Amino acid sequence: MHENPGKYVQDRIISFFRPYLRPILRGKENKRVEFGARLHIFQVDGINIIDKLSFDPFNEAKSLKGCVIKHKQHFGELHQLGIDNIYGTNENRKYLTEKEVYTCLPRKGRPSKHEKQTKKHIA
């Protein structure tokens, strides 16, 4: 790689003492690359459950359906869900609407003409 800088090596070893570590590229200004495990955790009544642990990068938004299914198996039906905006993909929104799960995701699209009046009545 020193002679051919454009070459990419899949699963290259970063450390001989910890060969399982892989660099995870991030879009942050101060940290472009992070090392270590990535976790996908869901929480039910204060109990944190590790859904996925990986030293390779992955997209958390794709794990939402599996978490809803696991929640149903272990705790029963899911009615409300507090999630970050990263989970607000069209696919996830459609799935949660079909399952009738209320989320804290902001609505998509432009606000309606009566948005200000609606907020006044709610508050």
pLDDT tens digits for range 3-38: 777 766 666 666 667 776 777 766 666 777 777 778
Q: What is the mean pLDDT of the segment spanning 76-90?
A: 90
**Containing domain of residue 46, as a range?**
23-106
Contact yes or no for 92/61 (Cβ under 8 A): yes
What is the spatial distance between Cα 108 and Cα 78, in angstroms, rounded to a whole number? Answer: 23
Task: Classify residue 42: in a domain, yes or no.
Answer: yes
What is the spatial distance between Cα 61 and Cα 86, in angstroms, rounded to a whole number? Answer: 6
Task: Classify residue 78: in a domain, yes or no.
Answer: yes
Residues 44-61: tens digit of each pLDDT: 888 888 888 887 778 888
- Residue the block writes with tokens 């879009």: 27
Domain count, the chain: 1
Task: Classify residue 123: in a domain, yes or no.
Answer: no
Task: Classify residue 89: in a domain, yes or no.
Answer: yes
pTM over 0.75: no
Task: Classify residue 4: in a domain, yes or no.
Answer: no
